[in-house]
Chains A and B, each alone.
Chain A
């Protein structure tokens, strides 16, 4: 969370909002925010889903633990899911990879018919798609 908070200004500039959801109550999040130094700077919503209803709707609720898996969905401005990542519990996410993926999606959205190839980094050229490009990459 702290890592995401550190990059939050950059995400804001990219027109991105972060919404975090755990199976705790929002009151627990309130105290977490009060007591943890890294959480103090978190400006994005920390939602409580103690019934797990929303987390089950997204398939990330683990019935063995009653807690959420580390599931992350990138959703575009129209509400379409663009990327899904579900990690094993003891491994954290990488906010830089998140930013790279959203930048690639935004670049492709701006240039229909183009694609961001493997390992694409912001600033790299997009490539053409279609029959003229078959076998060129």
Chain B
């Protein structure tokens, strides 16, 4: 029962507070001051258009030169920077895959 009573008291209190503050605000409106222009609602910031560097380039086709790159990598038990051109003179298989812990 205690909880029920508490909720009833709380809600009643909330209601009175709301009415009271509305009256106070209303009274403020009657002070003869120029009504302040209502500020325009803040517009949500639109999603930024993908910058050029976010554009997905067309998949390169056979006959085109492979684009060189440099990325941090795990090689055996080491962490080092790997460049595609590090392996120039070899055949290379460049395998892109979604994420670790998936099959390749």
Number of A positions contacting B (CB below 8 A): 67
- Residues of B within 8 Å of A130, CB to CB, are none
Q: Tell me whether B93 and A22 are in contact (CB under 8 A).
A: no
- Residues of A within 8 Å of B64, CB to CB, are 80-81
Inter-chain residue pair count (beta carbon < 8 A) = 189
- Residues of B within 8 Å of A114, CB to CB, are none
Closest CB of chain B to A80's CB: distance in Å?
Answer: 6
List the one stretch of B11-19, B27-35, B41-49, B65-73 in contact with chain A.
B65-73
Chain B: which residue is nearest A68 at the CB level? B96
Interface string of A36-58 (1 = CB under 8 A from B): 10000001111111000111111
B97 within 8 A of A: yes
Q: Tell me whether A15 and B62 are in contact (CB under 8 A).
A: no
A127 within 8 A of B: no
Within the assembled complex, what's the spacing in Å between the Cα atoms of A65 and B56? 13
Q: Tell me whether B71 and A21 are in contact (CB under 8 A).
A: yes
Q: Tell me whether B74 and A30 are in contact (CB under 8 A).
A: yes
Q: Tell me whether B72 and A57 are in contact (CB under 8 A).
A: no
Q: Which of B68, B74, B84, B91 contacts A46 (CB 8 A)?
A: B74
Interface string of B69-104 (1 = CB under 8 A from A): 101111110010010110111111111111111011
Within the assembled complex, what's the spacing in Å between the Cα atoms of A93 and B103? 9
Using a CB–CB cutoff of 8 Å, the interface residues on chain A facing chain B are 1, 3-4, 11, 14-26, 28-33, 36, 43-49, 53-61, 63, 65, 67-77, 79-84, 86, 89, 92-93, 98, 102, 105-106
